[in-house]
């Protein structure tokens, strides 16, 4: 089973300073609008919550237990603490109220991205989302468009299959002659691919993508972003780059993207996913151009 994505509320655009127009990159402008929009829409003073309880409405579903096979929402009232995140509140609810409450998290284990949830109608990381930034009751659901295993846990196998389909590893035939010689990458090229390396495989972008929801074979923004990191790396051979572009320009590759920016909006690492997809489209077109 899967949950359906709710319509997200409109947010006001951040005002722009005429004197600064053009001085910032599109990525910086988008991030500023994103941060200001969220702050204006949901910001709550933490001092107003001191001594209060946090009202959670958590999606519950357990196909293996009779009486819990019908999806429902359970409500929890968790005492608020300064700096509390949604993940903190869920852990408290599990430890103090219902030990059967199931969700993934791997904080402080060097494995990030496993606690992506659908919080108040948007894909977010539980460990990164402050309670004080949300309106209550806080509605926590599993990621939409993915099969629910139990409570807030979704099946990620298809997501991992798509990630591996783009061959997400460095390939280079011409290795340095010396055993201790490095494969050097210039600073400009490193800056070009730097943002793409931030992906933590949380699946939030895939969950927000309407194309991925309707096309099970679509590679999806996370996998395409992973391919971008290697396709744009100057250290790989041209033949390998062409091989990657052939994977990406297939029927269910980059051309299925309709440039809705939903993946970019929900990415917790602020990766310009849509921009990377568009750049790969341009590279695919240039590869196929012939001049006689």
pLDDT in tens, 55-100: 999 999 999 988 889 999 999 999 999 999 999 999 999 999 999 9
Q: Residue 13 pLDDT > 60, yes or no?
A: no
Question: Based on the structure, what is the number of domains in the chain?
Answer: 2
Per the domain annotation, does 19 fall within a domain? Answer: no
CA 149/CA 62 separation, integer angstroms: 8
Q: Residue 135 has what pLDDT?
A: 93
Residue 169 confidence class, pLDDT cut points 50, 70, 90: confident
Q: Do residue 55 and residue 149 come from a single domain?
A: yes
Q: Are 206 and 222 in contact (CB under 8 A)?
A: yes
* Shared-domain flag, residues 126 and 199: no
Q: Are residues 123 and 239 in the same domain?
A: no
Q: What is the mean pLDDT of residues 2-21?
A: 46
Same domain as 131, residue 236: no
Task: Give the mean pLDDT of 241-254.
Answer: 91
Q: Which token pair is 29?
A: 């402008």
Do 161 and 96 share a structural domain? no
**Two structure tokens written together for 155:** 């099946």
C-alpha 215/C-alpha 227 separation (Å) is: 19
**Cis peptide bond prior to 137, omega within 30° of 0:** yes
Domain assignment of residue 125, yes or no: yes
pTM: 0.78
Residue-range definition of the domain harbouring residue 94: 25-153
Verify that 137 and 32 share a domain, yes or no.
Answer: yes
pLDDT of 68 reads 87
Same domain, 141 and 205: no
Flag whether pLDDT at 136 surpasses 50.
yes
Confidence band (pLDDT; 50, 70, 90) for 140? very high
Query: Residue-wise over 214-232: b if at least 16 C-beta within 10 A, else e?
Result: eeeebbbbbbbbbbbbbbb
pLDDT for 178 beyond 80: no
Same domain for 31 and 137? yes
239 within some domain: yes
Same domain, 149 and 165: no
pLDDT tier at 17, thresholds 50, 70, 90 = very low
Residues 125 and 164 in one domain: no
Nearest to 93 by CA among 135, 138, 50: 138
């Amino acid at each position: 089973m899967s949950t359906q994505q709710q319509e997200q509320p409109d947010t006001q655009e951040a005002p722009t300073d005429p004197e600064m127009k053009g001085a910032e990159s599109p990525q910086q402008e988008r991030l500023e609008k994103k941060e200001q929009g969220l702050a204006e829409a949901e910001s709550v003073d933490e001092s107003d919550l001191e001594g209060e309880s946090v009202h959670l409405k958590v999606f519950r579903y357990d196909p293996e237990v009779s009486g819990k096979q019908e999806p429902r929402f359970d409500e929890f009232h968790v005492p608020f603490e300064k700096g509390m995140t949604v993940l903190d509140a869920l852990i408290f609810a599990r430890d103090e109220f219902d030990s059967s409450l199931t969700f993934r998290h791997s904080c402080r284990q060097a494995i990030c991205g496993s606690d992506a949830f659908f919080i108040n109608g948007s894909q977010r990381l539980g460990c990164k989302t402050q309670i004080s930034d949300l309106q209550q009751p806080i509605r926590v659901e599993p990621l939409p468009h993915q099969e629910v295993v139990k409570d807030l846990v979704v099946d990620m196998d298809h997501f991992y299959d798509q990630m591996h389909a783009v061959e997400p590893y460095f390939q280079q035939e011409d290795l340095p002659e010396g055993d201790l010689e490095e494969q050097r990458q210039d600073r400009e090229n490193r800056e070009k691919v730097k943002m793409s390396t931030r992906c933590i495989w949380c699946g939030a972008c895939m969950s927000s993508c309407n194309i991925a929801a309707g096309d099970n074979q679509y590679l999806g923004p996370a996998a395409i972003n992973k391919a971008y990191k290697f396709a744009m790396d100057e250290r790989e051979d041209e033949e390998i780059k062409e091989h990657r572009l052939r994977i990406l320009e297939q029927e269910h590759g980059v051309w299925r993207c309709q440039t809705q920016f939903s993946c970019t909006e929900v990415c917790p690492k602020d990766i310009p996913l849509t921009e990377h997809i568009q750049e790969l489209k341009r590279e695919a077109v240039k590869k196929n151009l012939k001049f006689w």
